[in-house]
Structure 1
Amino acid sequence: MLDGILWVCKNILLAFYNFGFALSHPGLWLDWSDKKAIMRVVYYGGSVEFFFVVFTAFLVLTAVGIWRRQVMWGTVRLLEGLANGIGRAVAWFGLLMVLQQIMIVFLQRIFRVSEIGVGPFGYTFTKDLSWWSEELKLYNAAIVALCATYTFVQSGHVRVDLVYSAVGFRAKRAIDMAGSLLFMMPVAVLVWMYSWFFMWRHLITPKPSASDTIERLLMKARAVRWNVETIGFSPNGFNGYFLFKVLLVAFTGLVFLQAIAFFYRSFLEFVEGEESAGKYLDRDSLGAGEEAYEGTH
């Protein structure tokens, strides 16, 4: 037990030392023309140091929030506002997806057009119809990845429970807190560790590994070059599948942030009682009669 505590403390100190050194020398990791800077970003984005910096920041923010609840409420409003803002913007991709599909059907079946060109600002972007058809997957993936936390804030996910509905208000908040700490956060961290390196393996070569040390990655930096994935499923099909890897990383980050917001909200509602239920919660409404409609489903 003591060895575990000492290991955690040692890694926290090392994390702050390494990050402090990096922040005091921004040219080491912000200069994207420097191959070593790229490798530092790759390493630290999925490193133990990064984990302990985030973990310590969470503990400090939690301690400050317990001392000043308005700080915690402000964090909840900020993170839920972030999820709502991104979700409401990306949700329009659904309309864009429908309109683009209609356009593809008309151009292909009626006008027998084989390609579509878009020319904003004098630059013409022309691709085969099959490219535009496969690109619809990106809209769908963006909606799933970037609207997941928005749907969570709006209570749009399906909840299946055998105990939750039968317990009292504070027991529900305790279950929500446990779920945030024991399920949402660990799973988000685990997926982040895999998705971060998975993304970079499709952006640069030689491909980095999660087991590589910073020294090994800096050695690889001598041969590193951008090698963005452009392979499609068909000769003229969509070739930007690396964007799906970027969306996976963004999804994981948003889930982790929402886990923090959900834990803080559950804690505050647990402490303040039922009168704080739904406090500052920004949910969309379809207008008058929505409650009666939802009550039948």
Structure 2
Amino acid sequence: MDEESAAGGFWLLDGIWWVLKNIVLAFWHLGYAITHPGLWLDWSNTEAIMRVVYYGGSVEFFFVVFTTFLVIGAAGLWSNRFLWGVVRALEGFANTLGRLVAWAGLLMVIQQVVIVFMQRVFARPSISLGFGIPVEFDISWWSEELKLYNAAIVALCLTYTFVQQGHVRVDLIYSAVSFRTKRVIDMVGSVIFMMPMAVLIWMYAWFFMWRHLIVPNPSASEPLDRLMMKARALRWNVETIGFSPNGFSAYFLFKILLVVMTGLIFIHAWAFLFRSYLEWKEGPESEDKYLDKDVLDAPDTGGHQHAEI
């Protein structure tokens, strides 16, 4: 029993040391990437592409991002004003992106109306847009392309909806506890649920995306040396196969949207953590402070939507 306890203690110490070591090394990794941009930005070199593929899903990249937000959080412990500025910037980015991409809904409706008229009224097999050398695709291509608008709205407006408090919260105890307890629950939820979920989806989505952009296909389990060997035979092989012969031919864009979505979730998890901490520290009077919330003519429902059980 004592041996098992000692082994468990050593395992815990090794884990803590591994995390601390990677946090320290994150500064060196970031500095090296900034001072050697040609190693990963020169995409005329296939090895640079493979470095991006490898490091985009690597422990090193995670700790660079993680340490960056740790530094921001540490600075915020010293200055609430600075941390509020970070929260406003991150939430402002989510709001701006969401409000812009939301117009894709109108574009989707207009395009669907055009498709119906061209197909049913004018009996045209294709739609051509532009002057001089127009862009022309089959009706089925434009019909399937509507999925891209829908995917963009879901992927890029997700954090906007969260900032606007438009998500559904399954409420078991949240509404019955005090203001500061709610903020503690929000902080724990951000760290325990939002961030790990975003990291796990990113690890899948990152290599899933690249497997539809280049060959030989990279794998998350392959070390950098192995990928450097594959770089000798690397070539672009962008996915252009649709579900129908004349259907939408840019399904790789959906994989890119999945990666962008998970990145936005991870970033906003930190913004939510920082806001929850500041509201916990400053008290009820700081609730929704600096929140740029869209207001409709409908009566206020009081913030978060709750699904009470």
| Alignment match of 1:290 (pick from 299, 303, 306) | 299
| Alignment match of 1:179 (pick from 180, 189, 196) | 189
Deviations 1:153-207 (A, max 9, x none): 1111112211001111111111000000000011001111111111111000001
Instruction: Give 1:27 deviation, angstroms.
Output: 1.1
- Whether the 8 Å contact between 1:208 and 1:217 is mirrored in structure 2 is yes
Whole-angstrom distance in 1 between the partners of 2:276 and 2:188: 10
Whole-angstrom distance in 2 between the partners of 1:135 and 1:79: 30
**Structure 1 counterpart of 2:4:** none
**Structure 2 counterpart of 1:265:** 275
| Alignment match of 1:42 (pick from 42, 50, 53) | 53
Whole-angstrom distance in 2 between the partners of 1:152 and 1:231: 34
Instruction: Give 1:294 deviation, angstroms.
Output: 9.5
Supply the AA of the counterpart residue of 1:291.
D
| Alignment match of 2:291 (pick from 281, 290, 294) | 281
Supply the AA of the counterpart residue of 2:32.
F
Establish whether residue 31 from structure 1 lines up as the match of residue 45 from structure 2. Answer: no
| Alignment match of 1:116 (pick from 115, 123, 127) | 127
Whole-angstrom distance in 2 between the partners of 1:279 and 1:294: 13
Instruction: Give 1:45 deviation, angstroms.
Output: 0.8
- Whether the 8 Å contact between 2:138 and 2:247 is mirrored in structure 1 is yes
Supply the AA of the counterpart residue of 2:293.
R
Query: With structure 1 as the length reference, what TM-score do the two structures score?
Result: 0.95
Deviations 1:64-110 (A, max 9, x none): 00101111101100110011000000000000001100110011001
Query: With structure 2 as the length reference, what TM-score do the two structures score?
Result: 0.91
After superposition, residues 215-294 of structure 1 pair within 5 angstroms as 215-287=225-297, 290-291=299-300
- Whether the 8 Å contact between 1:230 and 1:240 is mirrored in structure 2 is yes
Residue 168 of structure 2: SS of its match in structure 1? Answer: coil
**Structure 1 counterpart of 2:6:** none
Instruction: Give 1:246 deviation, angstroms.
Output: 0.3
| Alignment match of 1:164 (pick from 167, 174, 188) | 174
Change (3 A) 1:293 1:28: closer
Supply the AA of the counterpart residue of 1:74.
G
Whole-angstrom distance in 1 between the partners of 2:111 and 2:162: 28
Change (3 A) 1:292 1:256: closer
Establish whether residue 197 from structure 1 lines up as the match of residue 207 from structure 2. Answer: yes
When the two chains are superposed, the root-mean-square deviation of aligned CA atoms in Å is 1.9
Supply the AA of the counterpart residue of 1:110.
V
**Structure 2 counterpart of 1:71:** 82
Whole-angstrom distance in 1 between the partners of 2:58 and 2:26: 9
Residue 116 of structure 1: SS of its match in structure 2? Answer: strand
Residue 58 of structure 1: SS of its match in structure 2? Answer: helix
Number of aligned residue pairs: give it. 295
Deviates more, 1:222-231 or 1:19-28: 19-28
Percentage of matched positions with identical amino acids: 68
Q: Deviation above 6 Å: which 4+ runs of structure 1?
A: 292-295
**Structure 1 counterpart of 2:117:** 106
Supply the AA of the counterpart residue of 1:147.
C
The gaps in structure 2 that reach 5 residues or longer are 1-11
**Structure 1 counterpart of 2:139:** 129
